[in-house]
Copies of this chain bind each other. A is one copy, B any other.
Amino acid sequence: MREIYPGIHELILGTPEADTPSTQFFRRQPRPLRGIEPRNVPPPFQEEALRFHAGTRGFRVELPLSPDEALYGFGLQLKSLQQTGKKRTLRVNSDPVSDTGDSHAPAPLYFSTRGYGVLFDTARYATFHTGGNALRGNRRHTGQAGTIALTEQELYAASGETHPVIVDIPAARGIRLLLISGPTLRNAVQRYNLFSGGGCLPPEWGLGVWYRACGSCNQEEVRQLAAELRNAGMPCDVLGLEPGWQSHAYSCSLSWSRERFPEHQKLVDDLTADGYKINLWEHVFLHPTSPLAPAMEPYSGDFEVWQGLVPDLTIREAAETYTEYHRRTFTSNRIASFKIDECDNSDFIQSPWSFPECSRFPSGKDGELYHSLLGVAAQYAVEAAHRAEGKRSYGSVRSSHLFAAPCPFVLYSDLYDHRDFLRGVTTAGFSGMLWCPELRHASSVLDYLRRLEAMVLSPQMLLNIWSMPHPPWQQLDRDRNRTGELYDTGKQQFLAAATRRQFELRMRFLPYLYAAFARYHLEGIPPFRAVVMDYPECEELRNADQMWMAGEDLLVIPLTAEEETRKVHLPPGTWFDFHTGAARSGRITVSPAPDELTILVRDGSIIPFADVRQYCRKNCRHRVELRIYGNHPRPAWLFADDGESLCDDPEQFIDTVTADGKLSPLLRRRYECTGIARMTCDA
């Protein structure tokens, strides 16, 4: 066992595969450890505590698990937060339908409430048996027959006993494990993120409002939409264009459509001048008509997807060619962001569009390995095109895996259950991932409001209106929106105002969120995380998958349209209503108005609350009120770089502000304190 980073020990069992997530050329260097005490911690268990076996079908590892610990992680998991006592098969997948481990973004990595994590350095679809299966001779037997079951639930109820974690890694003859110490659960997650290269640091504009235009839009319609948003006073930083910007999509030409966007550069320039950043949809599958196709031909796999080549972006030369094409064609021409679609896989869909696991790629990978790694490889390749222009970016991606914390991309999917969408925010944070509970349409006004609100303190505030020509506040129903059957003026105005209010609230939290991301980058603290990550000892919070911490101090409790009220157990201590300052604690019932997101503030917090702006510019200056909750406020972080350039030394832009509201010269470059509000009051 060897310590390869403070508190991270490497353990090699058997003969691991050579091609793993950690051996990819694009992997970032770890960031220095910061914000964790003590610096060095012994490993959570000794080598002797593990057992392993290499067989015909792969490699098996057994790891200790105590009855009192709860496990989290395995990447984005939309169907459950706590992962103890289950079988998880980490298959890369679009649209997983049940709680099996299948995921857009699985990661062979778990963390325990006992304050440690275990990373399995493999791109195989490993299966984890997390304490639900008993090895023979390992438990006490009972002679009692038990009760007669009359429901399937009774029959198949878990026993409540706990057994080892058993990991089943196909094809491998060994595994490289990283044992990640805490001492706390949160510290272990921080160490993982810092070891991965630190959390991503988005440009400030990435934290503003996003709007994806209808798929059928041509350049004139995009202009009209942009103007309409500004006229309606809707804050918006990013406009996304769907596949139709390309001359061929499914697969991609990665070239502008002359038909729909004859003057695309003028469009991009004009919109950029109007404060918009342009995001372009793409996937990696290259249509033969793409100018990039000939260069990628020798680097492509032996299957096609939608008639397109599947480039192997784990080969350095291939990725560099891909990056350079993006730089030359897009990022040097003011394209600020990309949405990388369909880098997952297609098990649950009628037509299997993606390449099979038995595909063969020039790097020597098979399709299984490449399915695990494609999402991350594509993120690094695309981000490098922004980087080459000296810019940071923030984009969307449909798959990810290990070591992706530094990638400035937010996960999304075609699923839409709102509870699953909320849960995604809580699970992604355990694996260096971000998830967007995006809004596409709504089944009712209440559903619309709840989905909007839930994004205010989430990784991305995104209206993905690709399937509707009119903004959702003019008609929520997809079919009617398409046929132009819009609401009457009154209802449109009501919905527009409600939308604007949530957009504005997002913008007011921008300095707070930006600082939270700086802390993600520098200290590895997930800006959005399950409450259990901060309070692992609190049994009542172990399955709290419908609320989360946003930044250091805000507890967000979003409701869905199915709930009028919700009973929640608050973490220990006093919590204050963000808006009223009312103190709450223990087990409470929340019953927010339809257009109200429940936000509670940790005792002793200073929350910078900014004036509304329509969009961000480089070095733009925020007027912030400091809201103080509780009697002993701690200094709060603010981050004061220019908002969008690459910065090699981000620590120089961090400073804190105290309750007196006096800003340092560094912070004054970007922030102005407009007042101090002491928010505390009794409930």
Q: A residues touching B (Cβ–Cβ < 8 Å)?
A: 17, 53, 55-58, 60, 85-87, 89, 97-100, 124, 127, 129, 132-136, 138-139, 141-146, 148-152, 155-159, 166, 168, 170-171, 214-216, 242-244, 246-250, 253, 257, 287-289, 300-304, 306-307, 309, 346-353, 355-358, 360, 366, 368, 414, 466-467, 482
- B98, B303, B347: the one contacting A133 at CB < 8 Å is B303
A247 contacts B145, CB within 8 Å?
yes
B350 contacts A55, CB within 8 Å?
no
B352 contacts A145, CB within 8 Å?
no
B85 contacts A141, CB within 8 Å?
no
In the complex, what residues of B have CB within 8 A of residue A356's CB? 87, 127, 129, 133, 166, 168
Q: How far is the CB of A620 from chain B (nearest CB, A)?
A: 36
B248 contacts A156, CB within 8 Å?
no
**Cross-chain pairs A/B with CB under 8 angstroms, 21 sampled:** A55-B358, A57-B357, A85-B352, A99-B350, A132-B351, A139-B307, A141-B288, A143-B248, A143-B288, A144-B248, A145-B246, A145-B257, A150-B214, A156-B346, A158-B351, A166-B356, A168-B356, A168-B357, A170-B170, A170-B171, A171-B171
B100 contacts A348, CB within 8 Å?
yes
B145 contacts A368, CB within 8 Å?
no
B351 contacts A170, CB within 8 Å?
no
Give complex CA distance A155, B95 in Å. 14
Q: How far is the CB of A184 from chain B (nearest CB, A)?
A: 28
A360 contacts B136, CB within 8 Å?
no
- B155, B249, B304, B348: the one contacting A135 at CB < 8 Å is B304
Give complex CA distance A149, B341 in Å. 15
B142 contacts A352, CB within 8 Å?
no
Closest B-chain residue to A85, C-beta based? B351
B368 contacts A57, CB within 8 Å?
yes
A141 contacts B307, CB within 8 Å?
yes
Give complex CA distance A214, B368 in Å. 46
Give complex CA distance A197, B624 in Å. 82
A307 contacts B166, CB within 8 Å?
no
Closest B-chain residue to A57, C-beta based? B171
B148 contacts A303, CB within 8 Å?
no
Given contacts A301-B136, A467-B150, contact A358 B166 (CB under 8 A): yes
Give complex CA distance A163, B151 in Å. 45
Closest B-chain residue to A414, C-beta based? B152
Closest B-chain residue to A247, C-beta based? B145
In the complex, what residues of B have CB within 8 A of residue A141's CB? 287-288, 307
Which one of A17, A100, A157, A346 has the highest number of Cβ atoms from chain B below 10 Å of its Cβ?
A100
B89 contacts A347, CB within 8 Å?
yes
B136 contacts A352, CB within 8 Å?
no
Given contacts A127-B357, A145-B249, A257-B145, contact A100 B347 (CB under 8 A): yes
In the complex, what residues of B have CB within 8 A of residue A171's CB? 56-58, 170-171
In the complex, what residues of B have CB within 8 A of residue A56's CB? 17, 171, 366
In the complex, what residues of B have CB within 8 A of residue A170's CB? 57, 170-171
Which one of A138, A141, A155, A301 has the highest number of Cβ atoms from chain B below 10 Å of its Cβ?
A155
16 additional contacts (CB under 8 A) given A55-B358, A87-B346, A141-B287: A53-B360, A57-B171, A57-B366, A85-B352, A87-B347, A127-B357, A132-B351, A133-B303, A146-B250, A150-B466, A151-B467, A157-B351, A158-B350, A159-B351, A168-B358, A170-B171
Given contacts A98-B97, A129-B352, A151-B467, contact A139 B304 (CB under 8 A): yes
B366 contacts A55, CB within 8 Å?
yes
In the complex, what residues of B have CB within 8 A of residue A249's CB? 145
7 tightest A-B contacts by CB?
A: A158-B351, A87-B352, A168-B358, A57-B171, A60-B358, A132-B352, A134-B304
Give complex CA distance A580, B53 in Å. 67
In the complex, what residues of B have CB within 8 A of residue A214's CB? 150
Give complex CA distance A214, B97 in Å. 32
In the complex, what residues of B have CB within 8 A of residue A304's CB? 134-136, 138-139
Q: How far is the CB of A516 from chain B (nearest CB, A)?
A: 33
In the complex, what residues of B have CB within 8 A of residue A17's CB? 56
Q: How far is the CB of A451 from chain B (nearest CB, A)?
A: 18
In the complex, what residues of B have CB within 8 A of residue A351's CB? 85-86, 132, 156-159
- B134, B246, B253, B302: the one contacting A303 at CB < 8 Å is B134
B136 contacts A303, CB within 8 Å?
yes
Which one of A152, A253, A350 has the highest number of Cβ atoms from chain B below 10 Å of its Cβ?
A350
Give complex CA distance A351, B154 in Å. 11
- B98, B156, B346: the one contacting A353 at CB < 8 Å is B156
Closest B-chain residue to A218, C-beta based? B148
- B89, B142, B215, B248: the one contacting A150 at CB < 8 Å is B215
Q: How far is the CB of A131 from chain B (nearest CB, A)?
A: 10
- B86, B144, B150, B302: the one contacting A350 at CB < 8 Å is B86
Q: How far is the CB of A164 from chain B (nearest CB, A)?
A: 11
Give complex CA distance A214, B309 in Å. 58
In the complex, what residues of B have CB within 8 A of residue A247's CB? 145
In the complex, what residues of B have CB within 8 A of residue A366's CB? 55-57
In the complex, what residues of B have CB within 8 A of residue A357's CB? 57, 127, 168
B87 contacts A145, CB within 8 Å?
no
In the complex, what residues of B have CB within 8 A of residue A58's CB? 171, 358
B350 contacts A142, CB within 8 Å?
no
Give complex CA distance A364, B157 in Å. 31
Q: How far is the CB of A355 from chain B (nearest CB, A)?
A: 7
